Amino acid sequence: MLSYQPRRSAPVEVEPVPEVDTGAPRRAAATWADRLFNRGGALAAGVTVVATTAAVAIGVANGGSAAAVAPAAVVAPVAAAASADAPETESPLIADSLTVTKGLVSGAASEKVKSASLAAAVSRQFTTSSLNVREKADSASKVVGRLGVGAEVEATAELSGEYRQVVFEDGLGWVLNEELTKVDPNEGIPEGTSMEPCSRGSAVENRLRKATVFIYRSVCPLFPAVNSYGGWRAGGMQFHKNGRALDIMLTPGAESALGHRIANYLIAHAKLFKIDHIIFEQHIWTPGNPHWRKMADRGSLNANHFNHVHVAVVASAP
């Protein structure tokens, strides 16, 4: 393969320019003051060119004109400081926000900038139980704080084992990912209970205990979007065959938020309803251990309760 060889042009002879005697005294060499002035002028010119080029590039990138740029004396020092302090492996989620601020802030202020930048890019989630916030994604790691039930958090996309990284105070921490949900537990939960017959009929009440009927008649008018209800059936575990359980049927996935609102409504009235446990989307909640825990996989959407909220009353309930 032939390699590219640049063409060379023939040297051009330049006719010397005759000297003109101006009458001014001639200097054999530049003085130290001349050299200092010349170097300073060249340096200032270089900074001006670099700053102007950067400002023009920024203006064009932002949709502005090349003429609408900041003064070179202001832009140059900021750009120099930013490029000097910018880490080599900055997260793409926060790199743009930190490019200019790095070098201008440090310590705790820098961490606040980082946290604020992350918060704008992550999802809002809520805790389903009281959670320890740990320094690292490890159950043995130092606890740096605690979040209460239903607390709103900014969860990042970083996962490590069972833990998810969240924005916490002026920095970052790690919490159990299973204890987070995108459904606001404090939103859309109606109040009140009822023992009035439901307009959808009473067929499902057959062989149910009074406490279970109370749950059905309270949920029915408050959540009209429920597909159907299931109650007593022979066989299986004791809860349904003893009239202690109610299944509130939903469309898997599409009505997940509705299911969580119903579950939260039941939890809010757990003592009045005499609830033994609630199961939804392969998680169980009990009054004695009041937070959602993941259950073993039973092999199907129905067995794992993805298509219904299952609620059961205690054995002593009437």
Q: What does the pLDDT read at residue 114? A: 53
Q: What does the pLDDT read at residue 210? A: 97
Q: What does the pLDDT read at residue 185? A: 67
Domain match, 239 and 290 both: yes
* CA pair distance 174, 201, nearest whole angstrom: 48
Q: Which tokens in the block code for residue 178?
A: 């299973």
Number of structural domains in the chain: 2
* CA pair distance 253, 64, nearest whole angstrom: 46
pLDDT exceeds 50 at position 97: no
Domain annotation covers residue 303: yes
Domain match, 168 and 210 both: no
Domain annotation covers residue 10: no
For residue 313, the cross-strand partners are 275
Percent with pLDDT over 90 in the chain:
43
pLDDT exceeds 60 at position 138: yes
Instruction: Tell me the pLDDT band of 189, cut-offs 50, 70 and 90.
Output: confident
Question: Domain residues for 248?
Answer: 203-313
Q: Which of 141, 147, 146 is nearest to 162 (CA)?
A: 141
Which has the minimum average pLDDT: 126-135, 190-199, 295-304? 126-135
pTM of the model: 0.53
Domain match, 124 and 211 both: no
